[in-house]
Amino acid sequence: MNVHDFEAARPDGTVQKLSDYRGRVLLIVNTATRCGLTPQLEGLEKLYETYRDRGFVVLGFPCNQFASQSPEPDAEIEAFCRLKYGVSFPTFAKVNVNGRNAHPLFKHLKRKTGVWPFNAVKWNFTKFLVDREGRVVRRFAPTTPPDAIGEHVRKLL
């Protein structure tokens, strides 16, 4: 199994197959609107703008599991990201990243990058780098700024 085997709902409820991103390098991020790290959306957008023409995509997955820092409905979250931070990369409907109801994609990402039993996503803005074949290459901590990930993205492009 790889990332291309999963699908996820977009904010409007349509289902997006991640196989649509086959051949691209992905950075999958669990985001939040009311977190101290929310300004990273600006850096994620800059990273996306820098490398998108070379086959790079950021995928944002809002999550409300950490101190309820993304309580808004999906459409409101999407509008917030676009209006306040200029986000143009694809965003998805809210997901759980931990626990019994974690989205299957995040279960996979954690399995590929964590060491049991410490493979949980610790906080908002955990980032997972995926190569063009859908293999999870690396996990970055929430505090890792997007500009520090550019070098890793370039190596995969």
Tens of pLDDT, residue by residue over 129-145, are: 999 999 999 999 999 99
Task: Identify the DSSP state of 12.
Answer: T
Torsions phi, psi of 29, nearest 5?
Answer: -130, 135
- DSSP tag of 98: S
Residue 35 catalytic?
Answer: yes
Question: What's this model's pTM, rounded to 2 decimal places?
Answer: 0.96
Give burial (CB, 10 Å; 0-12/13-18/19+) of 123.
Answer: buried
User: How much is the average pLDDT of 83-92?
Assistant: 97
Which pLDDT tens digit goes with each residue over 8-47?
Answer: 999 999 999 999 999 999 999 999 999 999 999 999 999 9
Evaluate whether 64 touches 71 at the Cβ level (below 8 Å): yes
The domains found in the chain, sorted by start residue, are: 3-156 (3.40.30.10)
From the candidates 26, 35, 136, 153, which is the catalytic residue?
Answer: 35
Kindly provide the residue ranges of all beta strands, DSSP E only, lying in the chain, ordered along the sequence: 7-9, 15-17, 25-31, 56-62, 127-130, 136-140
The pLDDT tens digits for 89-139 are 999 999 999 999 999 999 999 999 876 666 889 999 999 999 999 999 999
